[in-house]
Structure 1
Amino acid sequence: MVSSKARHWLVTGLLLCSIVLPAQAEKADRFQKMEVESDQPGKVDLQNQIVVFNGNVVVSKGTMSIRAGRIEVRETPDGYHHATALGAPGALATFRQKREGVDEYIEGEAEKLEYDSKADTIRFTGKASVKRLRGKTVADEVSGAQITYDNTAELFTVAGGASAVTPGNPTGRVRAVLSPRQDSPAAAEAASAVPPGARR
């Protein structure tokens, strides 16, 4: 029989490695044009293929959107985009994207977001939190110092540390809250176990 302390460290170790959530984004988003707009004047450097915008920046690419205080977008020689977004003072940068074929969205926030269109990944760094929403209901949630979302592999990787410390997480540990897969026997059983007054 495994002690509760051993179970705790086993779970913590597993969370430090990776968490697989069903989270494939709209496939067509990867090939859409990237649009950037902001409140303040921006800089477009055609020679070096760099775009820098500040002030309530909104980046959109199909169903994907990033909102930040500042964003820098670089185009690689092979035509892909790498975007780095920073939150505004007192606010985090945010990300939202629809999942393929279902009424679900991936939403996340962090002090810094890094989007790589070639690898089809987004890295959330500093007070990072990512949620999968079924409609408006949170199905799964992951938080930590750094979260990497690999859309192609449908994989989240999360790590803890000092930059994960928030009022709700004073220890900076990684955390995941996972719901049963929708329309599964486990989800039906969980729904029937909820008292009627507690349902939303």
Structure 2
Amino acid sequence: MPHYTIAFARAIRLAAALSGMLLVAATAHAELADKDKPMNIEADSLRYDDKTQTSVFTGNVLITKGTIIMRGGEIKVRQDEKGNQFGDLVGNGKTPGFFRQKREGVDEWVEGEGQTVVYNSEAQTVVLKGNATLRRYRGTQLNDINEGDQIVYNSLTEVFSVKGGPNNASVTNPSGRVKAMLTPIPKDGATPAPASAEDGAALRPSNKIGEQRK
């Protein structure tokens, strides 16, 4: 099966020329640069539907967009007239869909998995569905782990919400309840120590995904 390396922005420009539509780039936000970076996709095959302006990439899918990395078996991608990008990623059967992104201004990364990963650049959210896991790394050290049936992470507000459910049930967790491991922020003099108060700010779980970070 042939292998394709596709720059999504280039594919969209080509689609726009064919359909006579002009795609407008989203307004840049320096503090959240990933939103306006081009989406680059590698896969074994591509099917494009000009009527719905949708591209389906299948087989060993790898997506990069600034610091964002996503991997899976298939992703369906579309872009609206404002330049917002939307992606529905699924795993390859044995391995769930994967998402990773650097937190703004600190040496921390957020990554997670789910049977389905739904990316929305307009809302700057990622939804992990089905045996979902969200982890936060401080440098290379694992700091927090959250598990549930569905996790919604908002990179703009840096707030996430976790829902339990029967799809999250296991032998050790038959009720499918939400599980979390939260590491205390190191005190002064401890190792590792945050460089500043801002560096030590952890992600805050919330039932309100739009809650602003304080």
Q: Fold match, TM over 0.5?
A: yes
Provide closer, same or farther for how the CA distance between residues 177 and 73 of structure 1 changes in structure 2, counting only shifts above 3 A: same
Alpha-carbon distance between aligned partners in 1 of 2:125 and 2:73, rounded to the nearest angstrom: 21
1:50 partnered with 2:50: no
Aligned positions, number: 163
What is residue 8 of structure 1 aligned with on the other side? Answer: none
Q: How far off is 1:123 after superposition?
A: 0.2
Alpha-carbon distance between aligned partners in 2 of 1:33 and 1:82, rounded to the nearest angstrom: 13
Q: How far off is 1:152 after superposition?
A: 1.2
What is residue 17 of structure 1 aligned with on the other side? Answer: none
Alpha-carbon distance between aligned partners in 1 of 2:55 and 2:191, rounded to the nearest angstrom: 51
What is residue 84 of structure 1 aligned with on the other side? Answer: 88
More helix by share: 1
Alpha-carbon distance between aligned partners in 2 of 1:189 and 1:97, rounded to the nearest angstrom: 24
What is residue 30 of structure 1 aligned with on the other side? Answer: 35
Alpha-carbon distance between aligned partners in 2 of 1:96 and 1:64, rounded to the nearest angstrom: 6
Q: How far off is 1:128 after superposition?
A: 0.1
Where structure 2 has 5 or more consecutive residues not aligned to the other structure, the ranges are 1-30, 194-214
Provide closer, same or farther for how the CA distance between residues 190 and 34 of structure 1 changes in structure 2, counting only shifts above 3 A: closer
Between the aligned residues of both structures, percent identity stands at 40
Q: Which moved more, 1:110-119 or 1:70-79?
A: 70-79
> Would you say the 8 A contact 2:32–2:156 is kept in 1?
no
Q: How far off is 1:168 after superposition?
A: 5.4
> Would you say the 8 A contact 2:103–2:155 is kept in 1?
no
Q: Which has the higher contact order (CA 8 A, sep 6+)?
A: 1
Where structure 1 has 5 or more consecutive residues not aligned to the other structure, the ranges are 1-25, 192-200
Structure 1 runs of 4+ off > 4 angstroms? none
Q: Which moved more, 1:161-170 or 1:79-88?
A: 161-170
Provide closer, same or farther for how the CA distance between residues 71 and 168 of structure 1 changes in structure 2, counting only shifts above 3 A: farther
What is residue 102 of structure 2 aligned with on the other side? Answer: 98
What is residue 158 of structure 1 aligned with on the other side? Answer: 162
TM-score, length of structure 2 as denominator length:
0.70
